[in-house]
């Protein structure tokens, strides 16, 4: 089976999961207080809107019909209408999505680029000071609530040292005029970086700690394998062994863990965005709950699920790329 | 491991200890210093939580003095937002009666943090237990019977797994209710898939073992096979995961409380205290510190214990 | 056929493992030689220390293991050598090759290895050809293109069909026997003088094993490589070895030329091993396994380590742990570590035989000692 075939296969496997997520949100919508009309359209809907929605969502029809219509609607990108913002839910989500994506990409980049070298160094110098230090740091990292890290960072760097902004995230493509103190695109980018540092650390620490732990244990395990011993017996240098022979094998469980970390990162984004007042999707869901904007709540939840499925898909494809055994039919 | 004399009837085979004898594992665990530390920590935290279960009024009556204010009620003359002993701010100077300061309503922070442990542990305990029990049933059935049962159950688990934990619980609570009970239900729901998957993979590998085949050939009923052979032998990773999951759930609950889902005021919970602290970062920065430290220490204790258990119970595979 | 200086000379090698439960003396003073062109067998049950001995020769013993004594010389150069330190403790001697020299000159280049489990010994994420080529590049100082050609040729030599195509395949795409051939190719391609083979056919089924043994013999004849063949299978020993060392619990029990070992056995352990093998040409009522199990190396029996299981054991055997001495009637050396031979002169004949108490199965068993 080639990589392409495997990718297609995985994509197809994702479809029932997406369907399942949609079903869950459908169930939750129907559990919400108020009539489905209110949930999907809000109390300010006009007669015409209700009428057309009646057809689209099948409000007065039995449950299973409503279910089908809901799925069709979702497929068409229709997630209802936000009462608070007065725009379709999809619009609002797409508006906030880039912010959250930037935050996620940034925190994972931070996490991976710190965790992998740290884990490897820890494995190679087992039971030496750097190993002990990194293990303690990792332990603290997986035990600390990310919103608390954010709070502490804000207090130290935002309030006392006043060197980093603690309110909101500046996106790279924001018009220059909207960014205070900025005269050029470069200034805006600098501001982006500055506003990104603390949220990245807050969100990424848990990821970094978890990944470095698995990196370490995976490297240790791989370094004990027979093929490593064979390479040594044939005179391969130790640095080449860990860099080339061991590394790729060790990454396999790490990739899996990164996939699992996605779910906690997405949840963590909600908390981080709240602490730093960042207008991303995470904050959106909280704001939606405060304003009882049910369509928005459900739409955002659904979207989070979609994001996770996409993320897992990418992780699986990366794993298959690294491990030639995965795409092989016979084994 | 003890064996009793076997009857000829396979159904009444003697009860064997799990492969990891409880006492044996415990004694090996205590050899590990870090595990000892974590056990001590957890004992302390549990004592705190237990202490908090005592009726508040009763406690107040017994300890009423200038030293301990009632944690849930500020009296007249209470001093809000006092800093810890030795520091001073615009609200006053720290006093020994409130060693780490007071909150916005003048309530002693130390005692509030103590009481906050109750929520954390309560929810973590309940939700993890439900997660283990339900997850074990689901995973064992799915793994043992395989086929379409497995497919359906695992598909369901996977779907539940696919919505980020926090978001799912939040959405759940938005639909059903925002109080402590629903928080517990929500966190239980998201704990189930984790254990379901774990047990299933354990069962899958144990199912192939020869002693299971032997029991099947001898005519032992399925549920007894599950109960006596499969589940005890999958004990080790489940224990490890349970411990670690307690820590994870405490973090999730803290996050929920921070966002306002969970225990409602005036019941103290650490996440909620941090949420309030956020509004007073400038005048009272220490307020943000201690509840977070409490969470950190508690979760770390569970993680250390879980790691210690893993090292004790699993290395038998490497030996 | 033998020359003056042996290719490999191992003298009183000692390797131990420091574990939580105590010190495991996995290799406790073994000595043997390998001459040019010969195949030397290293036989013993699991746990006897054979694999540790092999790793020790290449100085690849990892913590918590440690080589603590002995001499190993290869072509006169010192791979392992100890001297007395200031406190009287043994410490590595300066004439030992450095780690770098071991890596660059000895491992793979002069002494190559074949491991037991071909699936585990090949890196699953790299192509077979790529791994082979890398070893050739390192040990024969060839540029990649030349190394690749050599690799393909070597694969052809070990009877892998269509080597140019299979070069780019991954280990999991090969069968067990094929993978073992790849390992042999790796060992041979670097043109070493000595190959240490650690149970290379144990994981294979019998027909494949036969093919591999034939292959190895052919290659050895062609290239004159010396072999140390570790195994627990006496049939393999009989097939390909010139001389044999029998190991028990970290020590050598018997050393002899192969025919001598089989037909003129001098040590009760070897005899027991031979007796326990089922023979297709004889019908017997029951098999003769060796009674008991080999104890763990952390707590060896006192005196002769085999005495608790030995049918010829006497009281004196509890006290004396003999090292192998020449008990041969001819000029060819035949060593055995058993005091019943006169050359030991410790009063074996006068000593009372150890009569066994019955074990829990009601069978005769020699008394096992608990030692400290």
- Over residues B74-129, the pLDDT tens digits come to 455 556 667 776 676 766 776 666 777 777 766 777 777 877 777 788 788 889 99
Closest Cβ opposite residue A233 in set C107, C122, C134 = C107
Q: Pick B34 or C249 by higher pLDDT.
A: C249
pLDDT-derived band at B13 (thresholds 50, 70, 90) equals very low
pTM: 0.79
The overall average pLDDT reported for chain C is 84
A-facing residues of C in 43-82 (CB < 8 A) are: 58, 60
C-beta of residue A31 within 8 angstroms of C-beta of residue B176: yes
Long-range contacts of C332-335 (CB under 8 A, 24+ apart): C332/C257, C332/C260, C333/C255, C333/C256, C334/C254, C334/C255, C334/C256, C334/C257, C334/C260, C334/C264, C334/C266, C335/C252, C335/C254, C335/C255, C335/C256
Which chain C residues are Cβ-neighbours of A227 within 8 angstroms?
Answer: 120-124
C113: nearest Cα among A229, A240, A245, A236: A229
pLDDT, mean of residues A215-234: 90
Is residue A1 pLDDT above 80, yes or no? no
Is residue B315 pLDDT above 60, yes or no? no
Cross-chain residue pair B163–A304, CB shorter than 8 Å? yes
* ω into C169 cis (within 30 of 0): no
Cross-chain residue pair A225–C134, CB shorter than 8 Å? no
What is the CB-side half-sphere exposure of residue C49 using CA atoms within 13 A? 32
Which chain A residues are Cβ-neighbours of B245 within 8 angstroms?
Answer: none
> Is residue C186 less than 8 Å (CB to CB) from chain A?
yes
Q: Is B139 helix (H, G, I), strand (E, B) or coil?
A: helix
CA triplet A48, A50, A55: central angle to 5 degrees? 100
Query: Cα separation of B138 and B144, whole Å?
Result: 10
Cross-chain residue pair C107–A229, CB shorter than 8 Å? no
Q: How far is CA A288 from the centre of its chain?
A: 20
> Is residue C136 less than 8 Å (CB to CB) from chain A?
no
Q: For B107-116, how does the pLDDT look when each residue is reduced to its tens digit (9 = 90+)?
A: 777 777 877 7
> Is residue C113 less than 8 Å (CB to CB) from chain A?
yes
B291: nearest Cα among A143, A203, A275, A148: A148
- Beta pairing class for C357-358 and C251-257: unpaired
Give me the pLDDT at residue B3, please. Answer: 37
pLDDT-derived band at B65 (thresholds 50, 70, 90) equals very low
Cross-chain residue pair A227–C170, CB shorter than 8 Å? no
List residues of B whose CB lies inside 8 A of any A CB: 155-156, 158-168, 170-172, 174-176, 247, 251-252, 254-255, 258-259, 271, 274, 277-278, 281-282, 285, 288-289, 291-292, 295-296, 299-300, 303-304, 307
Q: Which segment of A7-11, A150-154, B264-268, C263-267 scores lowest on mean pLDDT?
A: B264-268
Handedness of CA A16, A22, A26, A29 (dihedral sign): positive
> Is residue A84 less than 8 Å (CB to CB) from chain C?
no
pLDDT-derived band at C359 (thresholds 50, 70, 90) equals very low
> Is residue A330 less than 8 Å (CB to CB) from chain B?
no
Give the burial string for B265-289 (b: 16+ CB within 10 Å, else e).
eebbbbbbbbbbbbeebeebbbbbb
pLDDT, mean of residues C299-317: 83
Chains A, B: CB pairs < 8 Å: 142
Give me the pLDDT at residue A168, please. Answer: 80
Give one word for C2, left, alpha or beta, with left for phi > 0 and alpha for psi -120 to 50. beta
Give me the pLDDT at residue B29, please. Answer: 54
> Is residue A279 less than 8 Å (CB to CB) from chain B?
no
B-facing residues of A in 18-37 (CB < 8 A) are: 20-21, 23-25, 28-29, 31-32
A138: nearest Cα among A202, A201, A199, A205: A205
Q: Which segment of A67-71, A237-241, C21-25, C118-122 scores lowest on mean pLDDT?
A: A67-71
Query: Cα separation of B279 and A170, whole Å?
Result: 22
Cross-chain residue pair B281–A20, CB shorter than 8 Å? no
pLDDT, mean of residues A246-271: 88
DSSP H or E segment with residue C77? strand C77-80
User: Which residue bears the tokens 């820590």?
Assistant: B247
pLDDT-derived band at C366 (thresholds 50, 70, 90) equals very low
> Is residue A3 less than 8 Å (CB to CB) from chain C?
no
pLDDT, mean of residues A56-70: 74
Is residue B318 pLDDT above 50, yes or no? no
Is residue B279 pLDDT above 50, yes or no? yes
Is residue A104 pLDDT above 50, yes or no? yes
Which chain C residues are Cβ-neighbours of A226 within 8 angstroms?
Answer: 115, 117, 120-121
Cross-chain residue pair A235–C112, CB shorter than 8 Å? no
> Is residue A322 less than 8 Å (CB to CB) from chain C?
yes
> Is residue C137 less than 8 Å (CB to CB) from chain A?
no
For C152, counting Cβ atoms within 10 Å of its Cβ (0-12 exposed, 13-18 middle, 19+ buried), the class is buried
- What distances in angstroms separate CA B46 from CA A167, B43, B124, B238, C298, one per listed residue? 38, 5, 12, 21, 43
Which chain A residues are Cβ-neighbours of B247 within 8 angstroms?
Answer: 143
Q: Pick B253 or B223 by higher pLDDT.
A: B253
pLDDT-derived band at C4 (thresholds 50, 70, 90) equals low
Cross-chain residue pair B163–A152, CB shorter than 8 Å? no
Q: Kindly list the partner chains of chain A, i.e. chains with 3 or more CB atom pairs below 8 Å.
A: B, C
CA distance B9 to chain A (A): 41
SS3 content of chain B, % helix, strand, coil (to 5): 70, 0, 30
Q: For C151-199, how does the pLDDT look when each residue is reduced to its tens digit (9 = 90+)?
A: 999 999 888 899 888 899 999 889 888 888 899 899 988 888 999 999 8
pLDDT, mean of residues B45-59: 61
Which chain B residues are Cβ-neighbours of A28 within 8 angstroms?
Answer: 171-172, 174-175
C-beta of residue A213 within 8 angstroms of C-beta of residue A142: yes
Closest Cβ opposite residue C125 in set A231, A322, A331 = A322
Tokens of A323: 């491990």
């Amino acid at each position: 089976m080639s990589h392409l075939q495997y990718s297609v296969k995985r994509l197809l496997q994702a479809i029932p999961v997406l369907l399942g997520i949609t079903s869950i949100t459908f169930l939750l919508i129907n559990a919400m207080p108020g009539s489905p009309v209110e949930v999907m359209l809000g109390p300010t809907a006009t007669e015409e809107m209700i009428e057309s929605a009646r057809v689209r969502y099948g409000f007065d029809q039995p449950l299973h019909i409503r279910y089908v219509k809901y799925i069709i609607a979702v497929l068409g990108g229709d997630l209802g209408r936000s009462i608070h913002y007065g725009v379709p839910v999809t619009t609002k989500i797409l508006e906030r999505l880039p912010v959250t994506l930037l935050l996620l990409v940034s925190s994972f980049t931070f996490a991976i680029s710190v965790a992998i070298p740290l884990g490897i160094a820890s494995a190679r110098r087992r039971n030496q000071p750097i190993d002990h230090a990194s293990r303690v740091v990792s332990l603290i990292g997986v035990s600390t609530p990310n919103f608390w890290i954010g709070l502490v960072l804000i207090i130290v760097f935002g309030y006392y040292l006043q060197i980093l902004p603690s309110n909101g995230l500046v996106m790279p493509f924001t018009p220059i005029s909207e960014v205070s103190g900025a005269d050029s695109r470069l200034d805006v980018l600098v501001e982006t970086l500055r506003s990104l540092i603390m949220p990245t650390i807050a969100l990424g620490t848990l990821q970094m700690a978890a990944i470095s732990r698995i990196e370490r244990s995976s490297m240790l395990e791989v370094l004990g394998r027979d093929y490593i011993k064979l390479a040594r017996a044939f005179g391969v240098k130790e640095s080449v062994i860990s860099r080339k022979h061991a590394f790729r094998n060790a990454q396999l469980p790490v990739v899996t863990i990164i996939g699992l970390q996605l779910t906690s990162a997405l949840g963590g984004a909600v908390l981080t965005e709240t602490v730093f007042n960042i207008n991303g999707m995470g904050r959106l869901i909280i704001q939606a709950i405060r304003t009882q904007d049910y369509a928005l709540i459900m739409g955002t939840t659904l979207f989070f699920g979609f994001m996770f499925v996409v993320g897992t898909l990418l992780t699986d494809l990366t794993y298959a790329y690294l491990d030639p055994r995965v795409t092989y039919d016979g084994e | 491991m003890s064996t009793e004399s076997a009857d000829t009837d396979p159904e009444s085979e003697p009860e064997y200890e799990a492969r990891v004898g409880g006492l044996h594992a415990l004694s090996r665990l205590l050899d590990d210093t870090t595990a000892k530390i974590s056990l001590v920590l957890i004992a302390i935290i549990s004592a705190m939580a237990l202490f908090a279960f005592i009726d508040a009024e009763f406690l107040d009556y017994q300890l009423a003095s200038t030293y301990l204010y009632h944690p849930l009620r500020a009296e007249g003359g209470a001093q809000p937002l006092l800093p810890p002993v030795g520091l001073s701010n615009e609200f006053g100077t720290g006093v020994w009666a409130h060693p780490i300061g007071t909150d916005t309503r003048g309530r002693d922070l130390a005692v509030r943090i103590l009481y906050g442990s109750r929520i954390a542990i309560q929810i973590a305990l309940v939700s993890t237990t439900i997660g283990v029990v339900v997850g074990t049933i689901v995973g064992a059935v799915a793994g043992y019977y395989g086929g379409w049962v497995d497919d359906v159950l695992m598909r369901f688990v996977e779907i539940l797994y696919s919505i980020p934990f926090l978001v799912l619980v939040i959405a759940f609570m938005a639909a059903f209710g925002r109080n402590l009970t629903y928080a517990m239900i929500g966190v239980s729901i998201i704990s189930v898939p984790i254990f379901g998957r774990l047990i299933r993979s354990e069962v899958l590998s144990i199912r192939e073992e020869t002693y299971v085949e032997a029991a099947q050939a001898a005519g032992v009923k399925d549920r007894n096979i599950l109960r006596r052979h499969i589940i005890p032998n999958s004990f080790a990773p489940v224990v490890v995961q349970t411990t670690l999951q307690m820590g994870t759930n405490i973090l999730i609950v803290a996050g929920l409380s921070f966002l306002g889902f969970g225990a409602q005021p005036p019941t103290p919970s650490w996440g909620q205290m941090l949420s309030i602290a956020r509004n007073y970062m400038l005048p009272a920065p220490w307020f943000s510190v201690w509840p977070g430290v409490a969470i950190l220490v508690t979760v770390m204790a569970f993680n250390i214990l879980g790691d210690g258990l893993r090292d004790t119970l699993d290395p038998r595979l490497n030996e | 056929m033998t020359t003056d200086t042996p290719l490999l000379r191992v003298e009183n090698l000692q390797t131990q493992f420091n574990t939580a439960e105590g010190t495991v003396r996995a290799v406790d003073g073994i000595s043997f030689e390998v001459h040019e062109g010969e195949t030397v067998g290293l036989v013993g049950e699991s746990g006897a220390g054979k694999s540790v001995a092999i790793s020790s020769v290449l100085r690849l013993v990892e913590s918590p293991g440690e080589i603590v004594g002995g001499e190993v010389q290869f072509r006169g150069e010192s791979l392992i050598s100890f001297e007395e330190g200031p406190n009287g403790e043994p410490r590595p001697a300066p004439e030992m090759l450095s780690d770098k020299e071991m890596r660059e000159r000895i491992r793979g280049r002069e002494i190559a290895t074949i491991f037991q489990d071909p699936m585990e010994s090949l890196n699953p994420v790299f192509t077979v050809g790529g791994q082979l080529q890398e070893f050739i590049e390192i040990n024969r100082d060839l540029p990649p293109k030349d190394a690749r050609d050599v690799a393909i040729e070597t694969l052809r030599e070990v009877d892998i069909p269509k080597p140019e195509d299979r070069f780019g395949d991954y280990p999991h795409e090969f069968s067990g026997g094929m993978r073992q051939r790849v390992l042999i190719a790796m060992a041979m391609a670097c043109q070493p003088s000595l190959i240490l083979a650690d149970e290379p056919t144990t994981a294979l089924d019998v027909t494949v094993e036969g093919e591999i043994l034939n292959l190895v013999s052919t290659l050895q004849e062609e290239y004159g490589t010396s072999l140390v063949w570790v195994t627990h299978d006496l049939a393999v020993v009989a097939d390909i070895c010139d001389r044999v060392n029998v190991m028990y619990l970290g020590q050598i029990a018997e050393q002899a030329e192969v025919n001598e070992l089989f037909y003129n056995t001098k040590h009760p352990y070897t005899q027991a091993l031979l007796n326990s093998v089922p023979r297709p040409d004889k019908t017997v009522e029951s098999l003769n396994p060796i009674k008991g199990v080999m104890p763990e190396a952390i707590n060896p029996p006192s005196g002769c380590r085999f005495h608790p299981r030995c049918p010829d054991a006497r009281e004196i055997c509890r006290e004396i742990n003999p090292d192998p001495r020449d008990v041969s009637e001819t000029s060819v050396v035949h060593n055995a570590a058993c005091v019943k031979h006169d050359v030991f002169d410790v009063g074996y004949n006068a000593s009372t035989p150890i009569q066994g108490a019955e074990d829990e199965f009601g069978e005769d068993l020699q008394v096992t000692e608990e030692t400290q």
